[in-house]
Amino acid sequence: MDAYTTIEAISVLLNLIFLGLLIIQNKWCWPFGIVGSALGVFLFVWPDAQVKLYSEAILYSYYVWIGIFGWWNWTSKQSEKNIVSWSIRKNVSALIIGLGVFPVLGFVMDEFFDSNSPYLDALTTTFSFIASFLQAKRVLSSWHFWIVINGVSIYLYYSRGLELYTGLMVVYFAFSMYGLKIWKRDLKVASTP
């Protein structure tokens, strides 16, 4: 196994641990996500691999920072410990922001970088920014975003030859549906008097 594949495998493992702990709302998910994401940055810009998913590299850099925020938010004494449900208006606002931002990022990646799949890459990146922030704030609808993002990312990663990350996205897709079910249950339990 070469260095690239080893880093990809370690990143996948750490991100799987992150997801499992996130679903059960264990604060220790965040350190695993931080390190797994930091390794992911290298995968997307690794010179010899020709992956060239620069928006994904930006996204995984953001995951490191949102991981730090998530860790702080989930361990803070003032932090809301329960799942919250956003109104339709807030969710639509998040959707509109994402739909406004992704074409701009796609254009930048297409015009100024040698990015592969610049618009699809920008789409998943933009909405992943939104979904990650929502998860750090324990917003239920984050899982709706993730279901779509992970489904699209399966194709994106497969098209770039990232077999392990493609497999990770398949698992993420399935577990996003499971995470939605668990968080819905937890929201219902918390709101029952």
- Domain layout of the chain by residue ranges: 3-191
Residue that has been written with the tokens 């993420």 in this structure? 172
The answer to whether 37 touches 70, Cβ cutoff 8 Å, is: no
CA-wise closest residue to 35 among 5, 68, 1, 75: 68
DSSP H or E run through 53: none
In the structure encoding, which two tokens stand for residue 184, read together? 């819905």
pLDDT at 78 over 60: no
Cα(19)–Cα(70) distance, integer angstroms:
13
pLDDT tens digits, one per residue of 111-158: 998 888 889 989 998 999 999 999 988 999 999 999 999 999 999 889
pTM for the whole structure = 0.84
The answer to whether 163 touches 149, Cβ cutoff 8 Å, is: no
The answer to whether 28 touches 185, Cβ cutoff 8 Å, is: no
pLDDT tens digits, one per residue of 155-182: 988 988 888 889 989 999 999 999 999 9
Cα(122)–Cα(90) distance, integer angstroms:
22
**Who wins on pLDDT, 87 or 8?**
87
pLDDT tens digits, one per residue of 88-114: 999 999 999 999 999 999 999 899 988
Identify the pLDDT of residue 49: 60
Residue that has been written with the tokens 């592969």 in this structure? 116
The answer to whether 158 touches 150, Cβ cutoff 8 Å, is: no
Indicate the range of 35-49, 73-87, 111-125 predicted with least confidence.
73-87
pLDDT at 191 over 80: no
55 forms bridges with which residues in the sheet?
none
Using CA atoms of 13, 181, 150, 7 in order, give the dihedral in degrees to the nearest 10: -10
